[in-house]
Amino acid sequence: MDKVGFFLCTGCGIGDAVDADELLKVARKEGKAVCAKAHDQLCSDEGIKLVRDEIAAQGLDAIAIAACSQREMTHVLRFPEVVTERVGVREMVAWTCKADDEDRQMLAEDYVKMYCVKAAKNTPPKRLEPEVIRSLLVIGGGVAGMNAALEAAASGYQVVLVEKSAQLGGLTALWHKRLPRGGGYARAEPNDIGALIATVEDNKAITVAKSTTVASIEGAPGAYDVKLEGAVAGTYKIGAIVLAVGATPYDAGKLTSLGYGATPDVMTGVEFEKLAKSGKLVRPSDGKAIESVLFVQCAGSRDTDHLPYCSTVCCAASIKQAGYVKEANPKARTYVLYKDVRTPGLMENFYREAQKGGTVFVKGTVKSVEKKNGAVQVVADDALSNDELQFEVDVVVLATGLEPATKDGASILNLAYRQGKEMPTRAHGFPNSHFICFPYETQRTGIYAAGTVRQPMDAAAASTDGIGAAMKAIQCVESASRGEAVHPRASDITWPDFFLSRCTQCKRCTDECPFGTLDEDEKGTPKPNPTRCRRCGVCMGACPERIISFANYSVDMVGSMIKSISVPEEFDEKPRVLCLICENDTLPAIDLAAQLRMEVSPWVRFIPLRCLGSMNLQWVNDALIKGIDGVMLIGCKFGDDYQCHFVKGSELCSVRLGKIQETLTRLMLEPERIKLQQFELGDAPKLPGIINEFVEKVVELGPNPNKGF
Amino acid sequence: MAADNEKCVLVVGGGIGGISAALEVAEAGHRAVIVEKTPSLGGRVAGMHKYFPKLCPPTCGLEINYRRIKANARVEVIVDADVVSLDGVPGDYNATVRIRPRMVNDKCTACNDCVAACPVERPNSHNYGLDSTKAIFLPQRLAFPMKYAIDTSVCPGASCAKCVDACKAGAIDLAMREQTRVLQASAIVWATGWKPYDASRIQNLGFGRIKNVVTNVMFERMAATDGPTGGRILRPSDGKEPKRVVFVQCAGSRDEEHLPYCSAVCCTASLKQACYVREMYPDSKVEIFYIDLRVSGTNEDFLRRVQSDASVAFNKGKVGQILEDAQTGNLTVVAENIEGCATRRVEADLVVLATGLVPEARDAATPSVIARDDYGFGVSDAKRAIEVVGCAREPSDVAASVRAATAAGIRGVQLGARR
């Protein structure tokens, strides 16, 4: 931008902490601001008017505001007519700097220069408004998929519902009755799946493609080309995708230790449902009416030899099945052998009713199962008495668990993506979100998992989940149509611009994007897919040629901010430390520390980044060559329980820093001058201590010998 | 961009469910208004130290959500407010919203000058009374909106007015009056959340009588860096570091005299809290008394992790009584041990009661269009575009609440699309 104006708020203690007139001079001279004004409460009506008047009078196209944190007063310090950059001198200078006047003033002056140049290096982003296709592809015709399809259709979207098998209904269609979904949660409900299937099949906005699978998916949110194969072959234009392919019952053939396979009278819960549905609850071996049943819980689940997780629905399902037996014959004996009875929430009533109805629940584990004297004999350890228990029953029902249909990289989506054909999965093969607060987050923008494929859940939860995923899919298409990013940078209209004539086809950007945004041509040149992009800037950080930039965020911009920091030669008094911080978690932590008026070293200069993953090594180079004595990078935790909103930004930053050794050797610098710090917002009051400790370490190391060159 | 007179999705409750519902609606292109009873968004999760099973801070997600709100003109947040009437038909609801006077206006810069001037103290409700604030206070560190509020039940008002003089921004208006707004809504998302069961009603467990018996929600504050002890777990009677901590599951839940239902989250929450203790005090011992360990799905991995810690013991059995040594403040937990068919007596420095969830709407005035079950949980009615989500509908963890909230948002899209 050409005409940058600078505005300083002197309220909230800022005016007492700094020499405002000097700062305005710095803004005009070093910051090259065409105007610089101060006000004692910039967020007041009068203050806003001052800014507005100056914008008009000077014809400003960008402004830098030094006031409270960019996180505060966003409802008033809003000037959409110009590029606006804000720096929180209240938090980063007035409230946290207890140093003498000279150091504090130098700190404030650096921020004035850094943010004037930041505003100058900015360009107004151009909003992309691509044509989008308002249609969803829903893969999987179980309760999750059908609910997703119906609600999307009711939202004005066209839907293509793909089901691999010849029928809709998924696992739920196999059940005799359904688990309670309300009304006191006391009794199983009739299976009404047929009505739901009919509603879906009658809906004109839904193309039902049974006996059909997805051959390939090309493109990006708002504009996918989906090729189907099977009964309903063809190519469809699709806006976004719901992955609701469900789960499969665990293979009972692996449960021979529980007697499966030895006699037909040991069966799975699914097989028992079929029996109940047939209306004849008889022993498979000889057709005798069933008078006693033992339900064995966690048949495969909660077992590190089989499924290490809990399959969530089996306890309630066995209770429901015990009900079938009692209903047919109130005198029948029903036992449930369990580890823990897991009927959380209101489903507790269902458990209590079963207990009242005479089903006996025993905590224990199966030792042996055999067919003897015409009955099934089960020996179990009673966990409560440590005694051995013997059961002689007509039938044993194994409560087998659920495995996600995506396990072992099953071929489902067939994405024509550079980073692979399928959705990345997490623990145990579930393509679940890693984020508790953001359960629909995926690493493939525009594709949302729902139902039992995502995690074990009952049909009621899967129905809700399908609707939630449809909502996210619709939202993704609508956001794409406005040129906006989806979570977590929702509303961001910038996107990475590639200066491809200087691309060396090193493939780092296409490889590192956490969301599989970029594809490649034959030579390896990246092909941007803007609507897949989350705007985190990981590609920008990865690029060694520095050819990737955003209108308001670039290697040059941050580099220029670093270069504008004054580095005094007299180290003993004035070392300098650059802190590149995650704006999502570390910046608010600084604000919270400032709220507590905690002290931060006056030698530190903070620059917030979109994500630590956008850190380009050039910035560390710039800082060290300039004579800055230490560089700290503070971002989110990584590893299995990562907290980075862009999945692996901070981890990628760490990997990149591993490559800086060469630079350090060339500049004759110790590796301790660079530090990556993992940090979480909940620890905000600890942040100043962590930073100050690093500064002390840098002081011990002595000055960067490159000062003054 | 939404016009002011455009119909909104009315979201009642500004906890994680309500915030999520409103944002999902807004980011899909429709207008949403959150009506929150307290002075800040955040709800119960804002009082949590960490989430299970990742042990990550709730502020991390709240901050992202607040940023989404700040960036989105289609979301409006009304705090200090109650929905006093709600009627109409799907696509055309009328809600009367009464906004209590906060006595602090939008000019507040959260500079904290007022606090030094204020002479009145009050128990800090955010910290369940474990410490106090002044009558003018910041509702929580990561408050949204970032504005102070005055507790009018303790503030002497104009006769004092010391804060008014201290405020350079002119943000304090002790003459502020109650306001009423009428909102037109196409759909309703009812996300009024939960409150902890009143543990003092479980008389045998001694809460309220015995200082070192605390509830799980209090324990979250005791562990939180923005809590009353700055994140150091100290027992209330004498500030000592508790090295023997007992968790009592189903304190009220699964009990027909208290809450007949299971509160769904307490087992996993206690595992999480056991981790706080073990991490803070490596020489500590933890024991968990439970009926069933209800740690569903892949949270089983978390259970296995905690079980692998030899200093965390699990004991199936109900706690019958908690006795206090008046001299030392130490406790004896008397429990049945079902697995060993015996009574156990366990010495403890601190006992944490895993108290269950009660729907906030159980005891609160609730518009009749919101149907409720016997326990006070709301019942959704999709045909009427009324969706009850999160713990207002059933005991839910955070992810389940957000999923339900997201799904509920689709009513806004549907009714928006029709007009």
Which tens digits make up the pLDDT trace of A369-413? 999 989 999 999 988 777 899 999 999 999 999 999 999 989 999
Residues A540 and A674 reside in one and the same domain: no
Which residues of A are less than 8 Å from B142 in CB distance? 588, 592
Contact A437/B58, CB-based, under 8 Å? yes
Considering the domain boundaries, does residue A448 fall inside one? Answer: yes
Contact A342/B296, CB-based, under 8 Å? yes
Residues A220 and A307 reside in one and the same domain: no
Residues A234 and A308 reside in one and the same domain: no
Domain B8-100+178-195+358-418, what fold? FAD/NAD(P)-binding domain (3.50.50)
Residues A421 and A453 reside in one and the same domain: yes
Predicted pLDDT at B337: 73
Among B54, B142, B410, the residue with its CB nearest the CB of A471 is: B410
Please check the confidence at residue B419 and state whether its pLDDT lies above 50: no
Residues A457 and A335 reside in one and the same domain: no
Q: Domain ranges in chain B?
A: 8-100+178-195+358-418, 113-166, 198-355
ipTM of the complex: 0.97
Query: How many domains, in total, are found in chain A?
Result: 5
Parent domain of A312: 252-401
Predicted pLDDT at B201: 97
Among B298, B339, B417, the residue with its CB nearest the CB of A309 is: B298
pLDDT category of residue A709 using cuts at 50, 70 and 90: low
Please check the confidence at residue A573 and state whether its pLDDT lies above 90: no
Please check the confidence at residue A513 and state whether its pLDDT lies above 70: yes
C-alpha angle A613/A619/A625, rounded to 5°?
Answer: 150
Q: Which of residues 172-201 of B touch A (CB under 8 A)?
A: none
Please check the confidence at residue A348 and state whether its pLDDT lies above 90: yes
In a mutational test of the A interface, the residue from B168, B294, B336, B397 whose CB has the highest number of chain A CBs within 10 Å is B294
Give yes or no for B29 touching A (CB within 8 A).
Answer: yes
Q: What CATH number corresponds to the domain at position A537?
A: 3.30.70.20
Please check the confidence at residue A572 and state whether its pLDDT lies above 90: no
Q: Which of residues 207-266 of B touch A (CB under 8 A)?
A: 224-226, 230-231, 254, 260-264
Distance CA B158, CA B176 (A): 11
For residues A139-152, average pLDDT:
98
The shortest C-alpha distance from A521 to chain B (Å) reads 33
The shortest C-alpha distance from A642 to chain B (Å) reads 8
Considering the domain boundaries, does residue A129 fall inside one? Answer: no
For residues A456-483, average pLDDT:
98
Strands A62-66 and A83-87 turn out to be parallel
The shortest C-alpha distance from A555 to chain B (Å) reads 24
| Domains B8-100+178-195+358-418 and B198-355 alike in fold | yes
Which segment of A4-13, A571-580, B137-146 scores lowest on mean pLDDT?
Answer: A571-580
Domain B198-355, what fold? FAD/NAD(P)-binding domain (3.50.50)
Distance CA A526, CA A419 (A): 12
Residues A361 and A386 reside in one and the same domain: yes
Q: Are B245 and B286 in contact (CB under 8 A)?
A: yes
Residues A638 and A672 reside in one and the same domain: yes
Which residues of A are less than 8 Å from B61 in CB distance? 435-438
Of all residues in chain A, the one with the smallest CA distance to B413 is: A155
Percent of chain A with pLDDT over 70: 100
Which residues of A are less than 8 Å from B272 in CB distance? none
Give yes or no for B59 touching A (CB within 8 A).
Answer: yes
In a mutational test of the B interface, the residue from A365, A471, A596 whose CB has the highest number of chain B CBs within 10 Å is A471
Considering the domain boundaries, does residue A331 fall inside one? Answer: yes
Of all residues in chain B, the one with the smallest CA distance to A342 is: B294
Which residues of A are less than 8 Å from B338 in CB distance? 363, 384
Residues A524 and A476 reside in one and the same domain: no
pLDDT category of residue B418 using cuts at 50, 70 and 90: very low
Q: What is the pLDDT of residues A631-664, one digit of tens each?
A: 999 999 999 999 999 999 999 999 999 988 888 9
Residues A328 and A293 reside in one and the same domain: yes
Which residues of A are less than 8 Å from B55 in CB distance? 641
Q: Which of residues 124-153 of B touch A (CB under 8 A)?
A: 138, 141-142, 146
Among B60, B339, B377, the residue with its CB nearest the CB of A681 is: B60
Distance CA A330, CA A525 (A): 71
Which residues of B are less than 8 Å from A432 in CB distance? 298
Q: What is the pLDDT of residues A674-690, one digit of tens each?
A: 999 999 999 999 999 99
HEC states along A164-221?
A: CCCCCCHHHHHCCEECCCCHHHCCCEECCHHHHHHHHHHCCCEEEECCEEEEEEEEEC
Predicted pLDDT at A326: 97
Contact B260/A352, CB-based, under 8 Å? yes
Which residues of A are less than 8 Å from B301 in CB distance? 308-309, 427
| Residue B165, Cβ density class (10 Å: 0-12 exposed, 13-18 middle, ≥19 buried) | exposed
Contact A682/B58, CB-based, under 8 Å? yes
Predicted pLDDT at A456: 97
Q: What is the pLDDT of residues A286-318, one digit of tens each?
A: 999 999 999 999 999 999 999 999 999 999 999
In a mutational test of the A interface, the residue from B23, B24, B27 whose CB has the highest number of chain A CBs within 10 Å is B27
Please check the confidence at residue B417 and state whether its pLDDT lies above 80: no
Please check the confidence at residue B314 and state whether its pLDDT lies above 90: yes
Distance CA B326, CA A394 (A): 58
Predicted pLDDT at B202: 97
The shortest C-alpha distance from B52 to chain A (Å) reads 8
Among A309, A352, A474, the residue with its CB nearest the CB of B297 is: A309
Question: Which tokens belong to A41?
Answer: 């409460």
Contact A487/B27, CB-based, under 8 Å? yes
Considering the domain boundaries, does residue A490 fall inside one? Answer: no
Strands (E), A521-588: 526-527, 548-549, 577-582
Of all residues in chain B, the one with the smallest CA distance to A41 is: B169
Considering the domain boundaries, does residue A491 fall inside one? Answer: no
The shortest C-alpha distance from A323 to chain B (Å) reads 20
In a mutational test of the B interface, the residue from A151, A348, A596 whose CB has the highest number of chain B CBs within 10 Å is A348
Which residues of B are less than 8 Å from A488 in CB distance? 64, 68
Residues A284 and A269 reside in one and the same domain: yes
Considering the domain boundaries, does residue A632 fall inside one? Answer: yes
DSSP designation for B242: P
In a mutational test of the A interface, the residue from B257, B262, B271 whose CB has the highest number of chain A CBs within 10 Å is B262
B252 phi-psi bin (left φ>0, alpha ψ -120 to 50, beta other): left
**Chosen domain end from A364, A383, A401:** A401
In a mutational test of the B interface, the residue from A385, A464, A482 whose CB has the highest number of chain B CBs within 10 Å is A464
In a mutational test of the A interface, the residue from B45, B48, B64 whose CB has the highest number of chain A CBs within 10 Å is B64
Mean pLDDT, chain B, whole residue set: 95
Give yes or no for B12 touching A (CB within 8 A).
Answer: no
Contact A468/B68, CB-based, under 8 Å? no
Listed residue (B288, B401, B394) closest to B346, CA to CA? B288
Q: What is the pLDDT of residues B151-189, one digit of tens each?
A: 999 999 999 999 999 999 999 999 999 999 999 999 999
Residues A176 and A299 reside in one and the same domain: no
Looking up tokens 């060339």, which residue turns up? Answer: A666
Please check the confidence at residue A708 and state whether its pLDDT lies above 50: yes
- How many helices (H) and strands (E) are present in chain A, helices listed first? 19, 31
Give yes or no for B369 touching A (CB within 8 A).
Answer: no
Give yes or no for B270 touching A (CB within 8 A).
Answer: no
Q: Are A378 and A369 in contact (CB under 8 A)?
A: yes
Listed residue (A189, A169, A186) closest to A177, CA to CA? A189
Q: Which of residues 73-92 of B touch A (CB under 8 A)?
A: none
Task: Count Cβ atoms below 10 Å from residue A61 Cβ, excluding itself.
Answer: 20
Residues A288 and A435 reside in one and the same domain: no
Predicted pLDDT at B3: 39
Predicted pLDDT at B341: 66
Please check the confidence at residue A213 and state whether its pLDDT lies above 50: yes
What are the backbone angles phi and psi of residue B321, rounded to the nearest 5°? -155, 150
Q: Which of residues 299-318 of B touch A (CB under 8 A)?
A: 299-301, 304, 316
The shortest C-alpha distance from A184 to chain B (Å) reads 8
What B340-348 contacts at long range (C-beta under 8 Å, 24+ apart), as own/partner pairs, is: B340/A386, B341/A384, B341/A385, B344/B315, B344/B317, B346/B244, B346/B246, B346/B287, B347/B244, B348/B212, B348/B242, B348/B244, B348/B245, B348/B246, B348/B287
For residues A177-201, average pLDDT:
96
Distance CA A214, CA A3 (A): 53
Please check the confidence at residue A612 and state whether its pLDDT lies above 70: yes
Q: What CATH number corresponds to the domain at position A598?
A: 3.40.50
Among B50, B300, B375, the residue with its CB nearest the CB of A682 is: B50
Predicted pLDDT at B1: 34
Looking up tokens 């090193």, which residue turns up? Answer: A506
